[in-house]
């Protein structure tokens, strides 16, 4: 992922229920305002990682898109709720739990 360090400002990763893997990995990428990053870029950068460590789905957010709690740390509870919404949508489209 070091190839993308100049294009992203923050990364947050949460698990979401998955029928096949028990838990799938949802990766939230906060891109820098002056760059473009795609899910394909992230997946290409992660090719050197073991398969079980790679993300199941990537969500690209604008700068300031990762929620913070009252002490300015990543709010993983809110991210988990966001991941549930995303995976439910993916599940209805047949793009989650299939593998």
pLDDT at 1 exceeding the cut of 80: no
pLDDT at 19 exceeding the cut of 80: yes
CATH code, domain carrying 50: 3.30.300.30
How many structural domains are present in the chain?
A: 1
CA gyration radius for the chain? 14
Give CA 97 to chain center in angstroms. 16
**Structural domain for 12, as ranges:** 2-92
Distance of CA 53 to CAs 23, 25, 35, Å? 12, 8, 26
Does 68 map to a domain? yes
Other Cβ atoms less than 10 A from the Cβ of 36: the count is: 9
φ, ψ dihedrals at 66, nearest 5°: -80, 125
Chain segment 22-67, per-residue pLDDT in tens: 999 999 999 999 999 999 999 999 999 998 899 999 999 999 999 9
What is the pTM (predicted TM-score) of this model?
0.90
Q: What is the pLDDT of residue 84?
A: 96
Does 98 map to a domain? no
Q: Looking at the chain, how many residues does it have?
A: 99
Q: What is the pLDDT of residue 44?
A: 93
């Amino acid at each position: 992922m070091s190839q993308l360090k100049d294009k992203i400002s923050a990364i947050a990763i949460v698990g979401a229920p998955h029928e096949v893997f028990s838990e799938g990995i949802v990766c939230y990428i906060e891109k820098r305002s002056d760059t473009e990053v795609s899910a394909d870029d992230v997946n290409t950068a992660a090719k050197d990682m073991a398969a079980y460590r790679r993300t199941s789905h990537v969500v690209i957010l604008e700068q300031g898109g990762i929620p913070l709690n009252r002490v300015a740390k990543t709010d993983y509870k809110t991210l988990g709720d966001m991941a549930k919404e995303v995976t439910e949508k993916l599940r209805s489209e047949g793009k989650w739990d299939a593998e």
